[in-house]
Amino acid sequence: MSATQTFSRHDVSFASGDSTCAAWLYLPTGVASPPVVILGHGLGAVREMRLDAFAERFAEAGIAALAFTYRHFGDSGGQPRQLLSIGRQLADWDAAIAHVKTRDDLDGTRIAVWGSSFGGGHAITIASRHSELRAAVSQCPFTDGLASALAVGPTASFKVMPLVARDLVAKLRGSAPAMIPLAGAPGTQALMNAPDALPGYLALVPSGMPFRNEVAARVIPTIVRHRPGRAAKDVRMPILFCVSNTDTVAPPAQTLKYARTAPHGEIKQYDAGHFEFYLGDPFEELVRDQVEFLSRHLEPVEAREMS
């Protein structure tokens, strides 16, 4: 696969549940039936928040890329807006895989998944459920809700419970959700309030793009119970874990414990923080490692047999 491949980008959408997910499809120019990697983002994030940067590099390496936005966010469908449902997001991944298998401009037998942050946890879960995948990449993954909650501190977790209760009442009444910020300043009520969370999160939003820094509060109890890292032991294909040594959102010690249980796991550790992975030198190092990994595992079977 060429490291200087040109590509084209196409606006596409695919059905998921009762609505649709909006996506970008990157196709390497002149490559017949390229392999494809599916990219999904993190907590409340949309594909415009630097998924394009990774997708472009994969396409330049001859790997098609489908970068999608979850239902209820951005320009994807789904009501109410800003609803973060783990079950629905996993269903969106299933739908994305089904979609690429139907396309005659892709090789549906050579598929990988790539997830970052909360999506990094999803990538582990999805890889454990889809044995037909060739490879997976889990970047700065959220692997254990309890570990993340303890990192924030029990006092902070307790303070948000009245807001959770208010949103659950809103759900029962069919009224507008009660929202909590996705990222906030230290000491404020937010899903992420480490010192680097708010500036790091907002740095990913393109200039001039409207973005809602909030999510329905009802998701908080499900996040605390969510432990996708446990599925790592069931991932049968090669999976690359890109771990931040200084991660303030997804504690690296717990992530590394899970990553070491993957039968064919590869682990890369970086000194950059959770929100630094998407920009500058850390991005260049990460995407270089990921291109090498994906190129190695998405090559045609004939080429693998000859090597």
Q: What is the pLDDT of residue 60?
A: 96
For residue 156, is pLDDT > 70?
no
pLDDT of residue 154: 47
Q: Please say if the pLDDT value at position 305 is more than 60.
A: no
- Taking only the tens place, the pLDDT of each residue in 119-141 is 999 999 999 999 999 999 999 99
Model confidence at 307: pLDDT above 60: no
Residue pointed to by tokens 């254990």: 144
pLDDT at 214 over 90: yes
Q: Report the interhelical angle of 51-60 vs 280-298 (nearest 10°).
A: 50
Task: Output the six-digit token pair for 70.
Answer: 């979850």
Task: Say how far apart CA 143 and CA 127 lie, in whole Å.
Answer: 14
- Cα(262)–Cα(70) distance, integer angstroms: 26
Cα 287 to Cα 59: distance, rounded to the nearest angstrom: 12
The answer for residues whose C-beta is within 8 angstroms of residue 17's C-beta and 6 or more apart is 71, 78, 88, 91, 92, 95
Residue 193 — very low, low, confident or very high, per pLDDT cuts 50/70/90? confident
Q: For residue 152, what pLDDT band results from cuts at 50, 70 and 90?
A: low
Q: Is the pLDDT of residue 304 over 60?
A: no
Phi first, then psi: give them for residue 194, nearest 5 degrees. -65, 160
Q: What is the pLDDT of residue 306?
A: 44
As a whole number, mean pLDDT of residues 58-87 equals: 97
**pLDDT at residue 2 is higher than 80:** no
Contacts of 126 (CB under 8 A, 6+ apart): 90, 93, 94, 97, 113, 115, 133, 136
Tokens of 73: 């966010």
pLDDT in tens, 13-71: 999 999 999 999 999 999 999 999 999 999 999 999 999 999 999 999 999 999 999 99
- Tokens 């490879």 correspond to 135
Give the pLDDT score at 149.
77
The pLDDT, as a whole number, for residue 1 is 44
297 has a pLDDT exceeding 90? yes
Tokens 């929202």 -> residue = 179
Per-residue pLDDT band for 153 (boundaries 50, 70, 90) equals low
Domain 7-146+227-306 top-level CATH class: alpha beta
Residue 191 has pLDDT above 50, yes or no: yes
Query: Backbone phi, then psi, for 64, in 5-degree steps?
Result: -65, 155
Question: Mean pLDDT score of the chain, rounded to an integer?
Answer: 93
Which tokens go with 29? 């120019």
Instruction: Examine the pLDDT at 79 and tell me if it is beyond 90.
Output: yes
Q: What is the DSSP string of the chain?
A: --TT--EEEEEEEEEETTEEEEEEEEEETT-SS--EEEEE-STT--TTTTHHHHHHHHHHTT-EEEEE--TTSTTS--SSTT---HHHHHHHHHHHHHHHHH-TTS-TTSEEEEEETHHHHHHHHHHHH-TT-SEEEEES----HHHHHHHH-HHHHHHTHHHHHHHHHHHHHT-PPPEE-SB--TTSSSSB-STTHHHHHHTTSPTT------EEGGGHHHHHH--GGGGGGG--S-EEEEEETT-SSS-HHHHHHHHTTSTTEEEEEESS-TTTTTSHHHHHHHHHHHHHHHHHHHS-HHHHHH-
Report the pLDDT value the prediction gives residue 187, as an integer from 0 to 100: 86
The lowest-confidence range among 188-197, 225-234, 283-292 is 188-197
pTM: 0.94
Lowest average pLDDT, out of 10-14, 99-103, 181-185, goes to: 181-185
Q: Which of 99, 108, 84 is nearest to 33 (CA)?
A: 108
With a cut of 90, say whether residue 158 has pLDDT above it: no
